[in-house]
C-alpha cells in the first residue's frame, strides 16, 4: 500500500482538471447507465447510488443524470456498453491497468494501444499485471471536515482496513465487500465525504527516482485518462514529494 495516498491525490487533482473540461461527465454517464441496468432506484441499487454520488461530486447536471438512468433502464434508447480491461506497462516497468466501458471494442483497443506506443509504453496480454492489484474501496475526507480521531473511530469500527492522513486528506481503505457499510457509517456519523469509489490498489509499488521516467509515466497516465475510451487508469508507481514538486513546477 506504500504510495497509494500520493497516487490518490494525483488522481484527485487530475479529476478536478477533467471536470473543468467536461470529459468526466461522459465517463460518469456511462457508469450510471451500466448501474441502472439493475434498476433505477438508488435506494435499491447500491451501484447506482455510488455512481450518482460521483455525479454529484463533479456537479453533473441533473438532466444528464436522468438521461443516463433512463438509458440504463431502457426508458429511452441508448448505446450498449461493455466493460473491458486492458493491461500493459509504462516506462520503467510500471504496471498499468486500464478500465473501459465501450460500445466498440475494436475502436477502443486501437486507441489504447496507440496511446501506449506513442508514450513509451506497451500493451500486454490479459493477466500480465492484474495479479499485482487488489480491488478496494477508497473513501476520502477533507481533514478540515472532521478530526482524525473521529474518522479513525467510525471507519475502523465499521470495518475499514486502514485510515491514512496525507496532504490534508484522510483516506479510508476498505475491502470491496465492506465498502458500502463503511461509507454508510461515515455518512451516518455526519462526516462529509469528498469521494467514495472502488479502486484497483497495487499490492506493492515501484519507486521512480529520475525525472525523465517520472514525466513519461505521468504523461502516459494523463493521456489515458484524457481519452473518451477510458474510464479509469491504475498504476503501481511511487514518486517522492520532492520529485513531484519539480514536475508540478
Enumerate domains of the chain plus CATH numbers. 4-73 (1.10.10.200), 82-131+204-244 (3.30.70.980), 133-202 (3.30.70.980)
Q: What is the pLDDT along the chain (249 residues), one digit of tens a residue?
A: 334 445 555 555 555 555 555 678 889 999 999 999 999 999 999 899 999 988 988 889 999 999 999 999 999 887 788 999 999 999 999 999 999 999 999 999 999 999 999 999 999 999 999 999 999 999 999 999 999 999 999 999 999 999 998 878 999 999 999 999 999 999 999 999 988 989 999 999 999 999 999 999 999 999 999 999 999 999 999 988 888 888 876
CA 164/CA 174 separation, integer angstroms: 12
Q: What is the pTM of this model?
A: 0.84
In the block, cell 447506482 appears at: 48
Quickly tell me which residue has 455512481 as its cell. Answer: 51
Residue with cell 435506494: 43
Phi and psi for 7 in degrees, rounded to 5?
A: -60, -45
Amino acid at each position: 500500500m506504500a504510495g497509494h495516498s500520493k497516487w490518490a491525490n494525483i488522481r484527485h487533482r487530475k479529476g478536478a482538471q477533467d471536470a473543468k473540461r467536461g470529459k468526466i461527465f461522459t465517463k460518469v454517464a456511462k457508469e450510471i447507465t451500466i448501474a441502472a441496468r439493475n434498476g433505477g432506484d438508488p435506494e435499491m441499487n447500491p451501484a447506482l447510488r455510488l455512481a450518482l454520488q460521483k455525479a454529484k461530486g463533479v456537479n453533473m447536471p441533473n438532466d444528464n443524470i436522468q438521461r443516463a438512468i433512463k438509458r440504463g433502464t431502457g426508458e429511452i434508447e441508448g448505446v450498449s456498453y461493455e466493460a473491458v480491461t486492458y493491461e500493459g506497462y509504462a516506462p520503467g516497468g510500471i504496471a498499468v491497468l486500464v478500465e473501459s466501458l465501450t460500445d466498440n471494442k475494436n475502436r477502443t483497443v486501437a486507441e489504447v494501444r496507440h496511446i501506449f506506443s506513442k508514450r513509451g509504453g506497451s500493451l500486454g496480454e490479459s493477466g500480465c499485471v492484474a495479479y499485482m492489484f487488489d480491488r478496494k474501496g477508497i473513501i476520502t475526507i477533507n481533514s478540515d471536515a472532521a478530526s482524525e480521531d473521529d474518522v479513525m473511530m467510525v471507519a475502523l469500527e465499521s470495518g475499514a482496513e486502514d485510515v491514512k492522513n496525507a496532504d490534508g486528506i484522510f483516506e479510508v481503505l476498505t475491502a470491496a465487500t465492506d465498502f458500502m457499510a463503511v461509507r454508510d457509517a461515515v455518512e451516518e456519523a455526519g462526516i462529509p465525504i469528498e469521494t467514495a469509489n472502488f479502486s484497483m490498489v497495487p499490492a506493492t509499488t515501484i519507486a521512480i527516482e529520475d525525472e525523465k521516467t517520472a514525466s513519461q509515466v505521468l504523461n502516459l497516465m494523463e493521456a489515458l485518462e484524457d481519452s473518451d475510451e477510458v474510464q479509469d487508469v491504475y498504476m503501481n508507481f511511487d514518486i517522492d514529494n520532492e520529485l513531484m514538486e519539480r514536475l508540478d513546477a
